[in-house]
Each structure stands twice: as structure tokens, then as C-alpha cells.
């Protein structure tokens, strides 16, 4: 019996990369996984892989830039289940890297909407379901530039830094009055399309696969943790 058997999980950004790997790993560990993202066809491919491996999943296409979409997702989940045991928030957008003085307002606005405002909307809409679980877990995937700013990463770093602070505050607000526990995880350098976009000259073979991150997340979900729990997942040796 896995520690995740019978649990219900929601994974954002599950159409590819780290999010897809986490969704598949959580399903393999016995949980039913609701997978969300904008690309329906990609979500269907992830769902098919989960089914083929003997797991259970439901696809729920959602654009996190649409606040009403998040509300509809929460309503659909609450109509089917009385509690949500796990929410892994992996989705994010990476604006074009450029100097702070040159950042385009439309790109910054989208980054803030998807990376920050959607994070608050997920917290607001799923807080009740997470607290209804005997051992609710909220896992937020952050980035090193949120706390270690880097030239030309201003738009992305600012949006992720804001979201990270928000999640940390949420952890502090809930840790003493509920069983909900919050983890803020920096996946570190990982072989994804977003990473390739940011580092086009990098040899992808030099960075770890998303499955390494997924395996650590699944292990963490079976552990007793403080809230907030902070961790960086490094390249395996």
C-alpha cells in the first residue's frame, strides 16, 4: 500500500515538463490525479500514459490567466470530492528575458497574472477542500531567481518572488489551525522546454530529467513536514 493510495491530487501545469512528470508519479503512487493545463491534446497524452501505467486521472483544461476558469475548476472538484488531499502548483510562464528598463508591460502583466494572481486564486478556491483533508498538502514550485535576483530575469523573478512570499504567508496562517502543510520547492536545473528557452546553448544532457523532481515530490508527500517546508532538488550524483 502506498501512502498516496486513495488520495485525490490536483496538478497544475501538467501538460508537459515537470508538471506532467509529477502527475504521472503521483498517479503511479496510487492517487487519483486531476491534471490541468491549457493544451488539451497534451493533457490527453499524459492521461493516456497514466492509464497505461495502471493509474487514474481526470483532465481539466484550464487557463490560469482566467480567474473564472479557476473558480469553475474548484467547483467541479468540490462537486465530485469532499476534500482535496494534494495540490501541486507547477504551472508558470517565462517572459522573454530582457533588461528591467525594457520589459514590455503586456509580458509583465501576463507573468504577474499567471505566476502570482493565479496562485492566490488557487489558494482562495481550494483552501476549504485542502483543509477538509486529514493531511492536506500544498506544494508550490518556485525558482532560485525569486530569492537570488539575476540580470535580465526581472519580470519572471518578480512574479515568482511575489507568489513565493504569498505561499509562505499562507503556510504560516494555516500551520497552527489545520492539518494542512505547505512545501515550497525549488526544482533546480531540470530538462524542460522552459529551461531550453532560457538557456538555448545548454546541453540538455547536463541537467536532470523531470522524473527526478517528480520522485522527490512523491517521497515528500509521504513525509511529516514543517510548514512551510523549503527544499531545493539538486542534480543527482
Which of 140, 156, 170, 199 is the catalytic position?
Answer: 156
The CA-CA-CA angle for residues 111, 112, 114, to 5°, reads 65
Does residue 199 carry a catalytic annotation? no
Say how many C-beta atoms besides its own lie within 10 A of residue 194's C-beta: 17
CB 111 within 8 A of CB 95: yes
Cβ burial 7-19 (10 Å sphere, 16+ → b, else e): bbbbbbbbbbbbb
CB 14 within 8 A of CB 57: no
Provide φ and ψ at 174, rounded to 5°: -110, -20
Cα–Cα distance measured from residue 113 to residue 66, given in angstroms and rounded to the nearest whole number: 9
Say how many C-beta atoms besides its own lie within 10 A of residue 104's C-beta: 12
Strand partners, 230: 184
Residue 80: burial class (beta carbons within 10 Å; 0-12, 13-18, 19+): exposed
Active site residues: 156
Amino acid at each position: 500500500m502506498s501512502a498516496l493510495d486513495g488520495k485525490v491530487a490536483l496538478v497544475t501545469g501538467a501538460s508537459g515538463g515537470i508538471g506532467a512528470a509529477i502527475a504521472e508519479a503521483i498517479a503511479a503512487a496510487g492517487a487519483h490525479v486531476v491534471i490541468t493545463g491549457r493544451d488539451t491534446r497534451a493533457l490527453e497524452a499524459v492521461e493516456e500514459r497514466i492509464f497505461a501505467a495502471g493509474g487514474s486521472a481526470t483532465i481539466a483544461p484550464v487557463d490560469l490567466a482566467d480567474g473564472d476558469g479557476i473558480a469553475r475548476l474548484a467547483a467541479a472538484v468540490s462537486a465530485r470530492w469532499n476534500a482535496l488531499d494534494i495540490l501541486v502548483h507547477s504551472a508558470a510562464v517565462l517572459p522573454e528575458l530582457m533588461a528591467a528598463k525594457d520589459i514590455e508591460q503586456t509580458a509583465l502583466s501576463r507573468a504577474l497574472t499567471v505566476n502570482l494572481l493565479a496562485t492566490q486564486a488557487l489558494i482562495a478556491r481550494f483552501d476549504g477542500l485542502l483543509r477538509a483533508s486529514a493531511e492536506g498538502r500544498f506544494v508550490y514550485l518556485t525558482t532560485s531567481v525569486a530569492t537570488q535576483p539575476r540580470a535580465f530575469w526581472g519580470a519572471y523573478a518578480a512574479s515568482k518572488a511575489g507568489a513565493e512570499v504569498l505561499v509562505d504567508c499562507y503556510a504560516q496562517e494555516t500551520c497552527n489551525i489545520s492539518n494542512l502543510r505547505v512545501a515550497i520547492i525549488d526544482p533546480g536545473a531540470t530538462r524542460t522546454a522552459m529551461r531550453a528557452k532560457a538557456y538555448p546553448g545548454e546541453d540538455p544532457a547536463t541537467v536532470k530529467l523531470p522524473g527526478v523532481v517528480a520522485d522527490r515530490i512523491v517521497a515528500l508527500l509521504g513525509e511529516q513536514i514543517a510548514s512551510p517546508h523549503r527544499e531545493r532538488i539538486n542534480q543527482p550524483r
